[in-house]
Amino acid sequence: MSETWKQPLSYLGVAALSAGAAVAGYRYLTGYRYTTVVPPPAAAAAVVPAVVDESTNADEIELAFKAVQNHICQFLEDESGQRYKEDTWSYDKGSGGGISRVWEALSDDERHLLLEKGGVNFSGIHGAAMPDSAATQFKIPPNTAFRATGVSLVIHPRTPHVPTIHANIRYFECGPRWWFGGGVDVTPYYVNRERVVEFHKLLRALCEEWGYSYEAFKKQCDAYFLNTHRKEARGVGGLFFDHLTTSDALPKSKKEICDFLVALGMLFPQLYGPFIHEGKDKEVTPEQREFQLYRRSRYVEFNLLHDRGTKFGLQSEGRVESILMSMPPLARWKYNWHPEEGTPEAELYDIITPKDWASM
């Protein structure tokens, strides 16, 4: 079993050594350790993408993102005892492709396994022309060539006592412009509030360490992961940021921003490990399983109706299997159902109401 998630002050140096040649040449990882120096949070990032900064090129970013995928997959294998299925693919509309690593345990004799459905995907694609809708959104001519790379994951545990987790880090380059985005959030069913507080405090410490505003990124997360058609949050939030690029509001180089994203990816064991260890062996009643499936329907609704990554992937004619990897294997809708007052199921609706978790 992996012990890395128990070492929040030194994990990146350890991760760099274990990644070995996979991150050779990408200087920030080797020997990195958290310090006690906390710089002041930076102002919110500007939306206008910066002109290309050659100090860190897209090939180096892809290499670092692949190291993140390897790090997270090793952790999930160690914790679950389950081996992923790997699928490599090519981008037919341009060049590049990706590596999809998927876990599935859907049969009755696999009910004891932790990961019912999940995946950690890496992609790095090049296209000759931006999708029209994306070009309009970014105010870039639709015939402009683009390059996109990222790591995206969604984990749906079998037990409702471990929350679903989603995270991604991404880089986009279009003509002379570039920007980063990413985030992490958890969607609980039955959860200890203390674990949520710890999760948010880790994220706040990470943001402060790298000079970003946790408060701004948390607010964006709460606003983004909202099922607006139901006026209901998807989960307990986390971080969400987009269009991070060099600007007057964010005087950081491309390499500095990339380093922050990779640090977030490498933090995954510390963020998710406590949830797993607390909940994976708890008994599950049929009623709890039923509630988990009901709440998963909200996850499906968000991904299909609101998620920008899903929309861009489909509009750019990306690989559908990888894009829809985020879907849970089972979900259930009930007509006009509401939990009884005073039950743990009813409590969830208070838990997912946005709160200042990191200050609790």
Instruction: Please report where in the chains the tokens 């090129």 appear, as a residue.
Output: 57
Active site residue 229: no
Give the pLDDT score at 132. 75
CA distances for 166 relative to 25, 111, 187, 189, 328, angstroms: 29, 22, 8, 14, 12
Per-residue tens of pLDDT for the chain, all 360 residues? 433 333 333 333 323 323 333 333 332 332 222 222 223 333 333 334 444 455 579 999 999 999 999 999 999 999 999 999 999 999 888 899 999 999 999 888 898 999 999 999 999 999 888 777 777 777 788 788 899 999 999 999 999 999 999 999 999 998 888 999 999 999 999 989 999 999 999 999 999 999 999 999 999 999 999 999 999 999 999 999 999 998 877 889 999 999 999 999 999 999 999 999 999 999 999 999 999 999 999 999 999 999 988 887 888 777 888 889 899 999 999 999 999 999 999 999 999 999 999 999
The 3-state secondary structure of 125-153 reads EEECCCCHHHHHHHCCCCCCCEEEEEEEE
Domains of the chain (ranges; CATH) run: 4-359 (3.40.1500.10)
Q: Where are the alpha helices (DSSP H) in the chain?
A: 11-19, 58-80, 132-138, 193-210, 214-224, 254-266, 268-279, 286-305, 308-315, 320-323, 344-351
Instruction: Please report where in the chains the tokens 């040449």 appear, as a residue.
Output: 25
What is the torsional sign of CA 152, 46, 237, 301?
negative
Report the distance separating Cα 17 and Cα 74, nearest Å. Answer: 14
**Amino acid (one-letter) located at 331:** A
Instruction: Please report where in the chains the tokens 């545990």 appear, as a residue.
Output: 157
Residue 229 CB contacts under 8 Å (≥ 6 apart), including other chains: 301, 305
Residue 111 CB contacts under 8 Å (≥ 6 apart), including other chains: 105, 158
Both tokens assigned to 7:
């070492």
pTM assigned to the model: 0.84
Give the pLDDT score at 41. 33
Tell how strand 226-227 and strand 232-233 pair up.
antiparallel
In contact, 250 and 46? CB cutoff 8 Å: yes
Instruction: Please report where in the chains the tokens 């009901």 appear, as a residue.
Output: 294
Both tokens assigned to 332:
């259930």
In contact, 97 and 125? CB cutoff 8 Å: yes
Catalytic-role residue among 71, 166, 229, 338: 166
Coil, helix or strand at residue 214: helix
- How is 157-208 classified by DSSP, letter by letter? ESSTTS-EEEEEEEEEEETTEEEEEEEEEEE-SS--HHHHHHHHHHHHHHHH
Give the pLDDT score at 11. 33
Instruction: Please report where in the chains the tokens 């505003």 appear, as a residue.
Output: 213
What backbone torsions phi and psi does residue 18 show, to the nearest 5 degrees? -70, -30
Identify the CA nearest to 266 among candidates 149, 182, 157, 197.
182
What backbone torsions phi and psi does residue 228 show, to the nearest 5 degrees? -60, -30
Q: By CB neighbour count within 10 A (0-12 exposed, 13-18 middle, 19+ buried), where does 14 fall?
A: middle
Both tokens assigned to 228:
């607006």
DSSP-derived letter for residue 333 is -
- Beta-bridge partner residues of 169: 151, 182
CA distances for 341 relative to 5, 139, 234, 335, angstroms: 36, 48, 20, 18
Q: What is the largest CA-CA distance in the chain?
A: 58
Count of residues making up the chain: 360
